[in-house]
Chain A
Amino acid sequence: MFPTPIEKQSRAWQISYQSMLPFALIIWLLPLIAVATFSIRPEADFVEGNYWGVPGSFEFFTNYGRVFFESDMPRYLLNSVLITVPTVVGAVALSSMTGFALGVYKFKGNLLIFFMFIAGNFVPFQILMVPVRDLTVNLNLYDTKTGLILFHIAFQTGFCTLFMRNFIRALPFPLIEAARVEGVAEWRIFWFVVLPLMKPALAALAVLIFTFIWNDYFWAVVLTQGPDAQPVTAGITSFNSQFRAAYHLMSAGSIVAAIPPVLMFFAMQKHFIAGLTLGAVK
C-alpha cells in the first residue's frame, strides 16, 4: 500500500523521477515565483507588458522601501499581530479548559456537548457571514480588532476543543486519580498535572492557529475595513489606487505578509507536523 521508497526502485525509475521533480516543483511554485519577481519589477514593466521577461530594472529596495515607509503596511502588520496573538492565547486557553472538562469528567451530555463543538467545525463559514456581521454591528464591534478577535476565538475553539479533548483522553488517567487520592483540588490538578503534560499539544495548536488566523482573509474583509482594524491580508489591496492596481507593490506586500507564518513554520516545523496529526489518532 505505502509507496516503495525511491532508492529501492529501478534505476530507470529513479532517473525519470529525478528529472521530473524539478519541473513539477517549478510548475507548482510558479505563482509564488511570479509574485516574487513581480515584487522587484518597476511599475513600467506592467505598462509595457513585460510580465515574464527580465525585469526592466531591479527595484527591490524601492518597492519594499515603499511598502515599509510610504504605506500603511506597518500598521496592517501590527494589526495582524494584535489580532493573531490574542486569538491564539484565547483559543488555546479556552480549549485546554473545555478539553480538560470533556476529557476527564463523566457527566450527562458530555458526548453531546463534545459533538456540538465538532459540529461547529462542519458549518461552512460562508453561511455565518451575514449573521456574524449583523451581530458585530449590533454589538458595536464592527470594524474593531476586538470584534475580529472575539469571533476568531469563538470559531476556533471548536476545532481546538476536539484536538485538546482527544489529547487529554490519551493521557494516563491514573495520574489524575493519584492526585485526587492525595486530595489535590481539581483546578490544581488541571494546572499542575494536566497542563504540563499538554505542552506538546499546546505548542502544536498554537502554531496551527497562528497560521490559520494570520492567513485569514475572509473574516478580515467581512468584519473590518480600513487601517484602523484590518489585518495585513486584507490591507494589501490598499496599494491599489482608485483606478490602477499596483501589481509590484501588492506583490512586495504579499511577500512581507507571508513571511511571519513561513518563519513560524520553519521555526516550529516539528510542532506543526505533530499538530496536523495529533488529534487524528486517539
Chain B
Amino acid sequence: MHSIFKAPLAALAVASLGASAAFAGSHSSLSGELRIISDMSNPAPRAVMEGLAAEFDEMHPNLTVELEIVDREAWKTQIRNALSANPPDVVNWYAANRMLPYVNAGLFMDVSELWNESEFEALASTKGAMTIDGKQWGVPYTYYQWGVYYRKDIFEELGLTEPSTWDEEVANCQAILDSGRKCYTIGTKFLWTAGGWFDYVNSRTNGYDFHIALARGEIEWTDPRVRQTFDNWRQLIDMGAFIDDHQTFSWQEALPFIVEGEATAYLMGNFAVAAMRDGGLDDTKLDFYQFPVINPDVDFAEDAPTDTFHIASGATNVEAAKEFLRFVTSPDVQTRINGGDALGQLPVNAGASVSDDKFIQQGFDMLSNNAGGGIMQFFDRDFPAEMASVGMEGLQEFMVFPDNLDDILARLEDARQRIYQ
C-alpha cells in the first residue's frame, strides 16, 4: 500500500483517528439490534460488507448487527417496499437524483447533522451529490472515476501528448485518423456509453450547474447552449473519430478495438482497466487522462458514480445507524474497503489512502483535487429514469445519424415537458 496523503489531509486523518478512538469509548453504550440491508451481492463486495458488519458488531458488544444481502439488481425494485414495510436501520443506495424519489417520499432520514461534524469535511467532493433541498440524506462509501483511457504506446509512436484542451484533442484525433486508426472505441448497443460522452461534452461546454439543471428538467433541450454541446460533439463524429457500427457492440465487445490498436482511446469508467489488462495492455501501453477543457470558463466536472449508505426514516436504532455511517466513512475503513483486494475502487474520504495502482491513484488525485465543478453521477443516475432512457436513445441516434439532431432535440424536449410536468 502506498499512501498519497497530502500534509493537511494527513493531519486531518490523525485528528479523526483520535476522534474515532474517543467514539469507541463512548459508544460501547450502543445496544439492541442494528438491521442493515445491503445490495453488495457480488462476491468481492459481499465479503467487504460481511466484514464490515462483523467488525462493527465486535466493536459494540451490546449491539447485534443483523445483515441481509439482497441481489444488486433485485434491490432496485425492492427498496421502496423494504423501506416502507418493516424498515431496516441502514440500507445501500446511490447518490444524487437516484435518491430523490425516496427523499421526496420521506423514506430516507436527514443526516445533515453528521455532515456538520468535522470528520465529514474529508467527504466534501460528494457533498453536492448527497444534498437535496440543502440537506444531506446519506453518506458515500465508494466511487470510481471516468476519463479517457488511451494507448500510450500508439501516442508515443505518433508523437502525441495527453491533450488538455479541446483543440489539442481534435488535433490528436486527426493525427490518429491519418495513421489509419480510429480515435475512440465505444459500444452503444446498450445506450449508456453514449451518456458518458454527453456528460463530458456538455459539462465541459456549459459547466456542471447547467448540466445538473438540464438533468432536473429546468432547461429546454432545444436551448442553443445544448445545441452548442452537440455541435462540439459532432466535430468528432464528422471526422469519423468513433469506430464504425458502434451501435452493434456492448461496452465489452468494443474492447477489442482498443486492445488490438484499431482505436486508441476509450472514454470509460475505471472498471474497464481490469478487462484491458486481461487483454494484454500493461501500464506501458495504457494510460489515462482527464477529459480536456472545452470552455475555459467552466471548471472540471467529473463523472464518478457514488454508492451510498442511508438511514431509513423508519429506523428503530438511529443512534447505532449513525455510528455505523461514521464508521463506514472513516478514512481507515474507506481505505480498506476500497483496496485492490476488496472493491478495487476509490475511497471518497480524501484522508484515505489508495492502492499502488496507476489508475486508482490518478483517479483519486483527479477527483479529490481537480474536480472543482462538481461530481456528476452519470447520465442514467442524474436524469430521472424515464428521461434517461429516452435521452440515451436520442444520444445513440445522434452518434449514428447526426443530421437528425433537430428531430432528436424536439423529441427530447417533448419528453422533458411530459416527464417533469
Contacts and interface: CB of A to CB of B under 8 A. Distances in A.
B259 A47 contact: yes
A214 B111 CA distance: 48
A49 B250 CA distance: 12
Contacts of B72: 242
Interface string B218-251: 0000000000000000000000000000000010
Given A225-B71, A244-B252, A44 B42 contact: no
Contact of B256 (A47, A226, A243, A244): A47
A61 B283 CA distance: 29
Interface in B263-317: 269, 271-272, 274-276, 278-280
A243 B274 CA distance: 11
Among A47, A49, A226, A245, max chain B CB count under 10 A is at: A47
A244 B187 CA distance: 14
Interface in A36-67: 43-44, 46-50
A49 B256 contact: yes
B261 to A, nearest CB: 11
A139 B278 CA distance: 47
A47 B252 CA distance: 7
A244 B275 contact: yes
B21 interface: no
Contacts of B131: none
B370 interface: no
A225 B269 CA distance: 28
Contact of B42 (A46, A50, A242, A245): A242
Contacts of B257: 49
Nearest to B250: A245
B186 interface: no
Nearest to A46: B252
Contact of B279 (A48, A225, A245): A48
Contacts of B64: none
A243 B260 contact: no
A244 B271 CA distance: 8
Contacts, number: 49
Nearest to B69: A226
Give chain A's interface residue range (CB within 8 Å of chain B): 10 to 19
Given A44-B278, A48-B280, A225-B74, A245 B259 contact: no
Given A47-B256, A49-B256, A226-B41, A243 B278 contact: no
A47 B74 contact: no
B271 A243 contact: yes
Nearest to A221: B74
Nearest to B74: A225
Contacts of A50: 256
A47 B279 contact: yes
A267 B177 CA distance: 60
A183 to B, nearest CB: 59
A19 interface: no
Contacts of B275: 47, 244
B139 interface: no
Given A226-B41, A241-B42, A244-B275, A49 B260 contact: yes
Interface string B7-50: 00000000000000000000000000000000001110100000
B380 to A, nearest CB: 14
Given A47-B276, A48-B280, A244-B275, A226 B252 contact: no
Contact of B71 (A44, A226, A245): A226
B279 A44 contact: yes
A242 B280 CA distance: 22
Interface in B154-178: none
Nearest to B255: A47
Contacts of A226: 41, 70-71, 74
A276 B250 CA distance: 40
A19 to B, nearest CB: 34
A48 B256 contact: yes
A219 to B, nearest CB: 15
24 contacts: A43-B278, A44-B278, A44-B279, A44-B280, A47-B252, A47-B275, A47-B279, A48-B256, A48-B259, A48-B260, A48-B279, A48-B280, A49-B257, A49-B260, A50-B256, A226-B41, A226-B71, A226-B74, A241-B42, A242-B271, A243-B269, A244-B252, A245-B250, A245-B252
Given A46-B252, A49-B255, A244-B271, 15 more contacts: A47-B275, A47-B276, A47-B278, A47-B280, A48-B259, A48-B279, A49-B256, A49-B260, A225-B71, A226-B71, A226-B74, A242-B42, A242-B72, A244-B275, A245-B250
